[in-house]
Amino acid sequence: MAKKSKTKDEKLHMRSIAELGCIICDKMGFPGSPAELHHIISNKGMGKKATNYEVIPLCPHHHRNSEESYHRSPKNFTEKWGSQENLLQETLENKVLQDKLGQVF
């Protein structure tokens, strides 16, 4: 099955989320660290990937490259930082604030 191309709107959304920086580094007092996108994984169904709107910004350290990363230990990550759904909600709230600031300046 061919991979579906991202729409222009999806690309814009994903870029704006990545530009927020890693949400975990921000919580630790290090805002603006470069981020890659993590598609949240929920109990929607086996193997069902989240949409391109259900992404959170994580630096490589918190995404996949360390003992503290989501992909190394989802359970430990969630216990320390909260559920992916909560992090998604925080991310979307941060995006709204960033969009409002962008309109002011």
Q: Please, what are the domains in the chain?
A: 11-104 (3.30.40.190)
Mean pLDDT, rounded, for 4-19 = 93
* pLDDT value for 99: 82
* pLDDT value for 102: 74
Contact 52, 87 (CB under 8 A): no
pTM of the model: 0.86
CA atoms within a 13 Å half-sphere pointing along the CA-CB vector of 12: 4
Q: Tell me the torsion sign for CA atoms 40, 16, 77, 90.
A: negative
Contact 81, 66 (CB under 8 A): no
71-96: pLDDT as tens digits: 999 999 999 999 999 999 999 999 99
Among 66, 41, 54, smallest CA distance to 95 is for: 54
* pLDDT value for 98: 85
